[in-house]
Amino acid sequence: MANIVTPRTLSGFMELAPKDQMVFEKIKQTLETTYRSFGFYPIDTPILESSEVLLAKGGGETEKQIYRFQKGDTDLSMRFDLTVPLAKYVAKNYSELTFPFKRYQIGKVYRGERAQKGRFREFYQADIDIIGDESISIMNDAEVPSIMYKVFTSLGLVDFTIRLNNRKVLGGIFELMGFSNDATDIMRVIDKLDKIGEENVKKELADIGVSAESADMLLSLLSFTGSNEEIIAKLKEYEGKSEKLDLGISELSDVVYYMEKFGVAKEAFKIDLTIARGLDYYTGTVYETTFNRHPEIGSICSGGRYDDLAGYYTNKKLPGVGMSIGLTRLFYILCEKEYLNKNISAPVDVLVIPMTEDFTKAVEISNVLRDAKINTQIYFEKKKFKHKIGYADKLSIPYVIFLGEDEIAENKVKVKDMVTGEQSLISLEEAVSLIEKGKLNNANDKCIILD
Amino acid sequence: MANIVTPRTLSGFMELAPKDQMVFEKIKQTLETTYRSFGFYPIDTPILESSEVLLAKGGGETEKQIYRFQKGDTDLSMRFDLTVPLAKYVAKNYSELTFPFKRYQIGKVYRGERAQKGRFREFYQADIDIIGDESISIMNDAEVPSIMYKVFTSLGLVDFTIRLNNRKVLGGIFELMGFSNDATDIMRVIDKLDKIGEENVKKELADIGVSAESADMLLSLLSFTGSNEEIIAKLKEYEGKSEKLDLGISELSDVVYYMEKFGVAKEAFKIDLTIARGLDYYTGTVYETTFNRHPEIGSICSGGRYDDLAGYYTNKKLPGVGMSIGLTRLFYILCEKEYLNKNISAPVDVLVIPMTEDFTKAVEISNVLRDAKINTQIYFEKKKFKHKIGYADKLSIPYVIFLGEDEIAENKVKVKDMVTGEQSLISLEEAVSLIEKGKLNNANDKCIILD
């Protein structure tokens, strides 16, 4: 026997057991189906890119986390998000694409972070973006979060809030106060409000030259609570004084109005003027999504509107709006907190257990079942009966068909409902109906169960 | 403006245009649906593994092609196939798995080969394997190629042949001839028959000590042509002389018999005694699949039966049988030869074009369409009419709904069939039926068109 190496998976890399993987796949499928239903194309960019291309913009904070290496004389990097590859893709294929270009990508990205519980080095992002050529309607800013709302509710996630803001609103307010040049700095400070509190924000604002009076006014506006309509009404008190602010208010109103038309429940989205998003490239609407039962995990889905997707690859002006779900991290929490619905993890609808040496009939009826879109496995192994039925049980397969000499002679099958324990000797056609009915009953089972 | 880096994708990395990607996704989905219908669990292993783990078996010929690098103090490698990660997964999760364990994995693997047309450094493999604990029925050897047959025919691929053999048959013949010790060497030579021809094979056989007489006998047996039944009958002439040969013949007969029961067309699978498969670990049934119109691309789907999946990770005996499709390479050829059905590349079923400033009604009817499982995009941009209809045209969207003041007032929609050009002013319910009917007509469209 050769030397044995202990099989292990690197820390920070998620590798799921089969039943969990089934749920993960169902989640991924729900995302894809929903994205598709709104007209997003899938794209699939390489995981490895030339470092020169991938880091064209500079890696920023994540640069030292990047998996970068040499192979032959090529300097390679593994992608660390799906936005840079999208920028590359759109710039590269500009002349072949039809704009607005709607794309989704669900793929693994890599960041060599310090390993810790709940932090991953290989993780899925699930992005949607709508890219325009020169311009893109504000309607897209309402559609994108509405799609994410539909994704989450389809999964069975409840008790989440999409929080939104518009950077033009913030920028306009700063302008009114005479700080237009320091807007980015102020936004960075404002973004920390949740983390460091009002007093520390005031101190930091003073450090960058904001008067105490202005800081008070700003913070009173940002801390104003009320319905989306009330917040917009409050903002409208400042209307007519700054073009930027007026535009921001108009955009924010449109987004709020149309999100409701798209079917987003009123309680699920909320204007939050304190959201600025750290990234410099957002220019309009910005989004964060809180899973209210676990605010500690941070935003589960974020994004926003940007004016310039790919300035480091092309002179074309490519504005867009997008959001991204941190899928692996979300899944990890759902798994940890036992919110996943393990009832949807059966690999097939029915297990056929032949009780004869010859498998001809078992194969034949399985063909019929599969043609009727019933996923079917035949148990082929020579094992004790207990073992065979235990197999269906362990895999949570909802139905078993026993096929012995008697059943074959009578041209029937014996079907056992593994949940109720009920057995019936029926024709194959009746078995198909029975199993189809069972499938239909479970067709609306959600991936996530939150009571 | 910052410095502009030319956006490019590394050579040997496939990155598809949106329409091609749609077809690729449909192919992937067909594979998944088919694999699932037979009870295979999806698994998803990391792309990065510890080099010690990934190379436990030794990388063999591919070792120098592996993308291997250091990050911090960790020696990492990118997976070069899906079999080693499967071995790791099964050994690592042995106690949690239920055997036989059926898994599929469709994922990217990495080999830093010298770049050349049609050769990829990042490519998809689409594997199925059935792993047993200690033993696994020969029925699985019949099921696995039958699944692949179903995959290919579902895709629309015709004119392919699954060629099969059994290494025990070959081994038994060698044994009869007294060469049991040199079996592996002989098999390696036999495997070259297609490439170097009969005369050169004879020379190489002589080099390893096979007498001219034995070589003649061997080659006459291997070159015997006839139906599967005729080949089995021919082999049976040697029955009773070698246990190994007898077992091989019995296995081969079972596989041939049951493949037909599984629905594989007689002309689509063929015993070919010359197939040995290069890999040392196959021990029984072996498969290769030829796309008969393009034999030059080699086997598009190969695999076989092995006794010992994971000997370098565990002392458990884990035999199995599996096959793998080289998906990227196959797709490349289909694309090059223009066999892909671009008609299935529309991102949505219908494009809604609002003719009013207000989008409320357009959003509302799109919600209704999506609830009826009709994928729907709204065209939101302010463009000329020609541009809007051109958008639907370029994206091959089959239906357009125009929604102007008049339609809204009448509570109707104007639907245009983009193929026939026909327009009708109808209710939304009628539009749903019309578009559903159109979808149904195209529901059986295949990904591949071969006349």
**Which residues does B114 contact at the CB level (< 8 Å), separation at least 6?**
none
Confidence (pLDDT) at A2: 57
> Taken in order A335, A341, A342, A348, is the CA torsion positive or negative?
negative
Contact criterion met (CB < 8 Å) for A5 and B258: no
Candidates A174, A182, A169; CA nearest to A239 is A169
Which residue in chain A is spatially nearest to B258 when comparing CA positions? Answer: A360
> Can you list the domains of chain A with their CATH numbers?
11-159+293-340 (3.30.930.10), 348-442 (3.40.50.800)
Please name the residues in contact with A304: beta carbons below 8 A apart, sequence gap of 6 or more: A167, A277, A279, A282, A284, A285, A286, A287, A321, A322, A323
Q: How far apart are CA A198 and CA B450, in angstroms?
A: 68
Q: Which of A21, A23, A41, A358 to mutate to test the interface with B (most CBs of B within 10 A)?
A: A41
Tokens of A408: 């074959």
* Residue-by-residue DSSP string for A311-359: TTT-SS---EEEEEEEHHHHHHHHHHTT-B-GGG--S-SEEEEE-SS--
pLDDT at A181 exceeding the cut of 70: no
Interaxial angle between packed helices A243-261 and A167-176, expressed in degrees from 0 to 180 and rounded to the nearest 10: 150
Predicted ipTM beyond 0.90 = yes
Which pLDDT score is estimated for A269?
98
- pLDDT bracket for residue A59 (50, 70, 90): low
Q: Which residue has the tokens 């074959």?
A: A408
**What is the pLDDT, as a whole number, of residue A237?**
92
Q: Residue B431 pLDDT > 60, yes or no?
A: yes
Residue A21: its chain B contacts at CB < 8 A?
41-44
pLDDT (tens digit, 9 = 90+) per residue, A150-180?
999 999 999 999 999 999 998 898 888 887 6
Residue A100 — very low, low, confident or very high, per pLDDT cuts 50/70/90? very high
Q: How far A216 CA lies from chain B's nearest CA (Å)?
A: 37
Q: What is the mean pLDDT of residues A10-35?
A: 97
Tokens of residue B354, six digits: 């609002």
On chain B, the residues whose CB falls within 8 A of the CB of A45 are 9, 15
Find the helix or strand (DSSP H, E) in which A292 lies: none
Angle, alpha carbons A81-A84-A85 (nearest 5°): 90
Q: Do A315 and B39 touch (CB under 8 A)?
A: no
Task: Indicate the pairing of strand A74-78 with strand A48-50.
Answer: antiparallel
Question: Phi, psi (5° rounding) for residue A374?
Answer: -100, 115
Long-range CB contact pairs, B50-53, < 8 A, 24+ = B50/A8, B50/A10, B50/B74, B50/B75, B50/B76, B50/B77, B51/B75, B51/B76, B51/B77, B52/A5, B53/A5, B53/A6, B53/A7, B53/A8, B53/B88
The pLDDT of residue A182 is 62
With contact defined as beta carbons under 8 Å apart, do A50 and A75 qualify? yes
Q: How many CB atoms lie within 10 A of CB A337?
A: 12
Q: What is the pLDDT of residues A309-360, one digit of tens each?
A: 999 999 999 999 999 999 999 999 999 999 999 889 999 999 999 999 999 9
Contact indicator for A170, A184 with CB cutoff of 8 Å: no
Instruction: Report pLDDT digits (tens) over A358-403.
Output: 999 999 999 999 999 999 999 999 999 999 999 999 999 999 999 9
Contact indicator for B308, B131 with CB cutoff of 8 Å: no
pLDDT at B1 over 80: no
Give the range among A200-209, B243-252, B310-319 with minimum mean pLDDT: A200-209
Residue with tokens 């059943």: A407
Using CA atoms, how far apart are residues B336 and B325, in angstroms rounded to an integer? 18
Q: Quick check: bond before B354 cis, omega within 30?
A: no
Residue B257 has pLDDT above 80, yes or no: yes
Pick from A119, A144, A409, A374: which is nearest to A255 by CA?
A144
Q: Tokens 């223009």 appear where?
A: B338
Distance CA B323, CA B128 (A): 6
pLDDT at A208 (0 to 100): 86
Count of pairs with CB atoms under 8 A, one residue in A, one in B: 258
Tokens of A170: 């913030």
The pLDDT value given to residue A398: 97
What integer is the mean pLDDT of B257-282?
A: 90
Place B211 in a pLDDT band, splitting at 50, 70 and 90: confident
- Under DSSP, the state recorded for B268 is G
**pLDDT confidence of residue A278:** 64
Confidence at A118, pLDDT banded by 50, 70, 90: confident
d(CA A435, CA A442): 11
pTM surpassing 0.90? yes
Residue in chain B closest to A382 (alpha carbons) equals B137
